[in-house]
Chain A
């Protein structure tokens, strides 16, 4: 099959996932609301001192993202599970990696939208002053989201089909995301300040390396995981 056919398949799967999620009542709105709620709870738990909140802001935004993210990832496979549509999807001609790519794309868009909302909420609730280097912070966030989505989608393809999926996905995913969490939060904190140690560059490179390594690794591994 040609690249065009593959790419069309990827887009079709992504589109199907996104429309299902965005249309479903409890879909995007639910997950985004949860993320903001977590952020608010963190503000209540860590505040009300403005300085403490400002220091905790970056961490709080990322934690809210991680905890809501797992919901999004499990749901991305749930639709097929409930309607039993996974088998037909597998039988349909075409390479398996397109399924993974399609779901990745859908999750990427979904989570990016959610992160945008959470970040804005974080800026407001935690009193962050937008620094001059904010485009770089945006890049760091994007790279972090990419890493989160790649591994989240991969682990969800298994966890969602096992027993105790609510526990298994975070248990598998969160330890793996430690480098992303450390890199994204440390770099963002540095960039919010003056980045005196010029460490943002090193962390950004780590994120790029991490994203590439796991993008390739999960694509290879997905073939083995998805067959039934």
Chain B
């Protein structure tokens, strides 16, 4: 009985960390993408300046 439950406990904690780390990865990826886009476009439009 305990054996079975152990499997579920491990499953639960694995799923939890998968979700949490997975979301973290997604944020990190989107974050660097967004920063890169921002840096690039600021550089491009830097020449424009206030009119």
**Complex: A in contact with B (CB within 8 Å):** no
